């Protein structure tokens, strides 16, 4: 389905809020790797590091990024030893750009930022890795948005925050066009508060969300609409993706056999 959208639409971004990991044990690490591999196969443009990925620790995060070649993103995660960004701090995507001698020019410039929750524990009570520092989201956003707003048309934030947290940040840091949120109850899928559009995530694995923006000649958002596609049996499966699922099941079974043999 995503491949079909890419073939028919040139102004398309595929993003994820993160939290695809689910714990530090070997079965969950294996699942996180295969999910990252699946997102690579689907051609994701940006994947935020959420609280669940922070639990994995810096070494695992970087290994997944390099082995699975996925565009992991975080604006407020830093390496404790060097105080350097753990992964890419932001991405700038040109939609509808022209190419000449390998360079892109023109088109719509979209800045993408990523935020992880400030808490040091995930919902299961697991502590964040000591090798990772979470910087203050408000200070991070204020610095990044001020920098990127000057030469980008749109600013998009991916996060694992809830709506209230995201609203507080957007009220203090102006210039955010789209703010994707991860947690909390959702009476509706999208709402606009002043200049910022807040978007809830799709139900994990059950539906695909597609938000369409209409811009004026100054690249300002004039309207938006969101559509959900339920991923039921009516959606045709992708052969390579089905093979990836089978590979994961085989790898998980092999791991379980090894773990039982060690007991």
Q: Could you report the per-residue pLDDT of 79-103, keeping only the tens digit for each?
A: 888 889 999 999 999 988 787 777 7
pLDDT score, position 180: 93
Provide the residue count of the chain. Answer: 263
Residue 222's pLDDT band, with cuts at 50, 70 and 90, is: very high
Kind and range of the H or E element at 54?
A: helix 51-56
pLDDT score, position 204: 62
Question: Does residue 81 lie within any of the structural domains?
Answer: yes
Question: Does residue 245 lie within any of the structural domains?
Answer: no
Question: Does residue 244 lie within any of the structural domains?
Answer: no
Question: Does residue 258 lie within any of the structural domains?
Answer: no
Question: Does residue 260 lie within any of the structural domains?
Answer: no
Domain that holds residue 21: 2-232
Question: Does residue 259 lie within any of the structural domains?
Answer: no
Q: Which two tokens stand for residue 30?
A: 């294996």
Q: Could you report the per-residue pLDDT of 122-140, keeping only the tens digit for each?
A: 555 555 666 788 888 999 9
pLDDT score, position 58: 86
Say whether pTM exceeds 0.85: yes
* Residue 169 contacts residue 138 (beta carbons within 8 Å): yes
- Whole-angstrom Cα distance, residue 189 to residue 176? 18
pLDDT of 62 higher than 70: yes
Question: Does residue 35 lie within any of the structural domains?
Answer: yes
**Count of structural domains, the chain:** 1
Rounded percentage of the chain residues whose pLDDT exceeds 70: 89
Residue 228's pLDDT band, with cuts at 50, 70 and 90, is: confident
Q: Which one, of 83, 134, 95, 100, lies nearest residue 14 by Cα?
A: 95
Average pLDDT score over residue span 193-214: 81
Question: Does residue 23 lie within any of the structural domains?
Answer: yes
Q: Which two tokens stand for residue 24?
A: 């530090």
Q: What is the CATH classification number for the domain harbouring 143?
A: 3.60.21.10
- Whole-angstrom Cα distance, residue 20 to residue 208? 15
Count Cα neighbours of 227 within 13 Å in the Cβ-side half-sphere.
4
Average pLDDT score over residue span 211-221: 91
Phi, psi for 182 (deg, rounded to 5): -115, -35
Average pLDDT score over residue span 4-9: 72
């Amino acid at each position: 389905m995503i491949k079909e959208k890419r073939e028919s639409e040139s102004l398309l971004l595929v993003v994820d809020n993160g939290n695809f990991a689910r714990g530090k044990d070997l079965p969950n690490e294996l699942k996180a790797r295969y999910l990252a591999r699946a997102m690579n196969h689907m051609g994701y443009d940006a994947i935020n590091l959420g609280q669940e990925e922070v639990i994995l620790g810096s070494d695992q995060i970087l290994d997944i990024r390099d082995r699975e070649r996925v565009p992991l993103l975080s604006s407020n995660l830093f390496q404790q030893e060097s105080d350097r960004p753990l992964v890419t701090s932001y991405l700038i995507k040109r939609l509808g750009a022209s190419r000449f001698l390998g360079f892109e020019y023109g088109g719509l410039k979209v800045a993408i930022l990523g935020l992880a929750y400030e808490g040091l524990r995930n919902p299961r009570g697991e502590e964040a890795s000591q090798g990772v520092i979470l910087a203050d989201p408000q200070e991070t956003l204020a610095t990044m948005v001020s920098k990127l707003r000057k030469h980008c048309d749109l600013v998009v934030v991916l996060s694992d925050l809830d709506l209230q947290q995201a609203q507080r940040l957007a009220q203090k840091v102006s210039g955010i066009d789209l703010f994707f949120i991860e947690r909390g109850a959702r009476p509706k899928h999208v709402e606009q508060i002043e200049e910022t559009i807040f978007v809830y995530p799709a139900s994990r694995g059950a539906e695909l969300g597609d938000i369409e923006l209409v811009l004026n000649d100054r690249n300002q958002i004039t309207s938006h609409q969101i559509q959900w596609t339920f991923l039921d049996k009516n959606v045709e499966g992708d052969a390579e993706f089905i093979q990836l699922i089978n590979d994961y099941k085989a790898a998980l079974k092999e791991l379980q056999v090894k773990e039982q043999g060690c007991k």
